[in-house]
Structure 1
Amino acid sequence: MTTTLPLSGKVAFIQGGSRGIGAAIAQRLARDGASVALTYSQSPQAAEALVQSIVAAGGRALAIRADSAGEQAIRHAIGQTVEAFGRLDILVNNAGVLAIAPLEELSMEDIDRTLAINVRSVVIASQEAAKYLGDGGRIIHIGSTNAERMPFAGGALYAMSKSALVGLTKGLARDLGPRGITVNNVQPGPVDTEMNPDNTEFAAALKPTMALPRYGQVEEIASFVSYLAGPEAGYITGASLTIDGGFSA
């Protein structure tokens, strides 16, 4: 008996999908049957290796070089995805940057780039993707538990940028709900990635503050995203859903 995969026939676009959480999301969505396009800006080797691994496993994947700070780059990448795969069903906004510094040391470059990638690119990608998404379409933002809790100094800018996604998610859910499109915001806690490895002094200090005293794994975030992208999550929208090992408990 043939089993139909939950995302069979769907096409997903992942903004910022070559490494870390984004790469795990790309792999999981492909494993669950979706054709996947992902963007990268500075890691072509990682992006191509990811595409090759998905194709080798029997999936379809495409890597597109696009700086998420550029409006036209985002719009063009989504257009390329539709041209390559014929449709678009799922948008995952995963691109993000992290600037940690005391208030007095934040530069205008830090502020502008954080807002451009963590907030502005999400709005642009959602606007462009909405041109192609139909009934059952999914928009999923990757936010942060720091929108709910910032327990150390220097994270105000990052927390602000991720808090913006909470309001954006609610507003877009209202805008797109009549078209049968859901919009949700996944808020990971500490996750073991290149940007925030679990074997540092910082990680050692953070773990005792969590209900589960460990970092999350990228696959755990990816499985949650895949669920939200699938048919069983059709009644969830406008929600900011925390997956943080009890960091914010």
Structure 2
Amino acid sequence: MVCGVYICTICLKQISTGSTTEFLNFRVVQKPCPEPNIEPWEIPYVHYPNPKTYSRAECVCNPVRYFAIMSMQRSGSGWFETLLNNHTNISSNGEIFSVKVRRSNVSTIFETLDKIYNLDWMSSASKNECTAAVGLKWMLNQHDNRRGVQRELDQLWPSFHKMGLMQHHKEIVEYFNTRGVSTIFLFRRNLLRRMISILANSYDRDAKPLNGTHKSHVHSPHEAAILASYKPVINATTLIPSLRQVEETTKKGL
């Protein structure tokens, strides 16, 4: 007699034929810019700004240097700035802080400087995305609209503070050191010639000998000859004290 036991197990499991779709998140990591071939002491003065208003495109790794020109009226700063702006990749944006609201407090000053050095300041001096140096001209004194050298000199020191530069000089120096801003001091060595230039500019503002227009800066030998024909009268009594006052103001600026 033969006996057999059969054990049968049946397992029913539903197998889904559907598939789960997942999206892969790819991020493009920007390749770091190569180190510039410069001296070690120059490294703090080389920057790679990232403008908010446009892309630097292929020039994103082109280093940019920051600068600020410190000067006073009738000292040749306009001529110097014109030379800088003649370069294709240098932008000097003029007297930014001649507008009062931009220098009303240290916060607005820093906000303006950040915009300039981040290449987001748009002006006639703005260049392309391959800008290699950017800066501004900051006057230590504000020109007085009243006639006469002595009145201009009398107002020199009070307006010196109103420009914000001396009023917040500690904060601004710290900002320049932190951001690696190069400072260019441009003063006229011959103070007597500067005084004559101030008088001539005041005369030109009222007389307008250049075709009925006032020009603070001449752009041709002919225009220069017209202004040079004016012979100012200088008060000899106040001459030396006035020159000393300007010299003292320059020292305080430095």
TM-score range, shorter chain: 0.3 to 0.5
More helix by share: 1
Flag the structure with larger Rg.
2
Normalised by the size of structure 2, how large is the TM-score? 0.35
Normalised by the size of structure 1, how large is the TM-score? 0.36
More strand by share: 1
